[in-house]
Amino acid sequence: MSDEGTTVATDARVFTAQGLGRLVELVRARVTPARFAHIVRVAELAAAIAEANGFTPQERAAVVEAALLHDAARDLSDAELVRLAPPRLALERAHPLALHGRAARELARRWGVTDEVVLGAIEGHVFGVAPHDRVGMALYVADVSEPGRGVNAHIRELAMTDLPSAYRHAVCSKVEYLERCGKEIHPDTLATYRAIVGPAAPPARPDAQGAS
Ligand SMILES: [Fe+2]
Ligand SMILES: [Fe+2]
């Protein structure tokens, strides 16, 4: 995370303007300052993407709320992640960090969030969402391309004019990144990839990086 991002960590106006002050404090208490700075940047970018793509006010509010909550569990211990989101696969038992989207969804639910659009976007920021889920796509794209990451600027720019296309690039980038690193790919990530590019698609584009 950049120094610039850490400075932004104290500025949560994007959330408080929407009456999310209580959730801001719940999230802030569970993440590092650098993580919170990332969360703010994701929310600001996701809000800009939503605006540029003609989202309704309700969709824009859902995007910002989901962005605030998406990494609420990202800095928890493995034991806490497993307690909040019991593993379903050997891959998840071996890598509890893979559970952080589902764990964040559970935290949000416990904190009173009931909107399925918001909850689905929180969980889906790790393994992807359906290609018709605009709120989930905006969060996913903002998460992998927020400026503090220093990668995927082309995805960020594309998202301002063509969100579905940017989402396609983002998912392909993540799959390609995992393949390049020789990491095992979660079946839900593969399912998202196949839903987008088809069952007999060529390998993902090798021109970008992804991370959760
Ligand atoms: Fe994130
Ligand atoms: Fe994440």
Q: pLDDT digit string (tens) for 80-132?
A: 999 999 999 999 999 999 999 999 999 999 999 999 999 999 999 999 999 99
CATH number reported for the structural domain that contains residue 132 in this entry: 1.10.3210.10
Looking at residue 173, its pLDDT comes to 87
What is the distance in A from the centroid of ligand 1 to the CA of 36?
A: 9
Residue 122 near residue 63, CB atoms below 8 Å = no
Residue 206 has pLDDT above 80, yes or no: no
**Mean pLDDT of the 18-32 span:** 96
Confidence of residue 5 (pLDDT cuts 50, 70, 90): very low
Contacts of 124-129 spanning 24+ positions with Cβ under 8 A:
125/66, 125/70, 125/71, 125/101, 125/212, 126/98, 126/100, 126/101, 126/102, 126/189, 126/212, 127/101, 127/186, 127/188, 127/189, 127/191, 127/192, 128/171, 128/188, 128/189, 128/191, 128/192, 128/193, 129/192
Residue 168 domain-assigned (yes or no): no
Residue 32 lies in a domain: yes
- Tell me, yes or no, whether 163 lies in a domain: no
Q: How many domains does the chain have?
A: 1
Tokens of residue 53, six digits: 């793509």
pLDDT at 147 over 90: yes
Residue 55 CA to ligand 2 center (angstroms) comes to: 23
In a domain, 80, yes or no: yes
Helices 100-110, 116-127: crossing angle, 10 deg rounding = 160
**Helical axes 57-69 vs 21-28, angle rounded to 10°:** 20
165 CA from centroid of ligand 1 (Å): 20
C-alpha of residue 212 to centroid of ligand 2, in Å: 4
Q: Is 120 in contact with 109 (CB distance < 8 Å)?
A: no
In a domain, 162, yes or no: no
Distance 10 CA to ligand 1 centre (A): 17
* CB contact set of 184 (below 8 Å; sequence gap of 6+): 91, 178
Task: Give the mean pLDDT of the chain.
Answer: 90
Residue 4 above 70 pLDDT?
A: no
Q: Domain span at residue 122?
A: 3-150
Q: Whose atoms come closest to the Cα of 35: which ligand?
A: 1
CB 163 within 8 A of CB 137: yes
Please report the pLDDT score of residue 182 as a whole number. 92
Q: Is residue 18 part of a domain?
A: yes
Q: What is the DSSP letter of 3?
A: H
Residue 119 has what pLDDT?
A: 98
With a pLDDT cut of 70, the percent of the chain lying above it is 89
**208 pLDDT above the threshold of 50:** no
| Predicted model pTM | 0.89
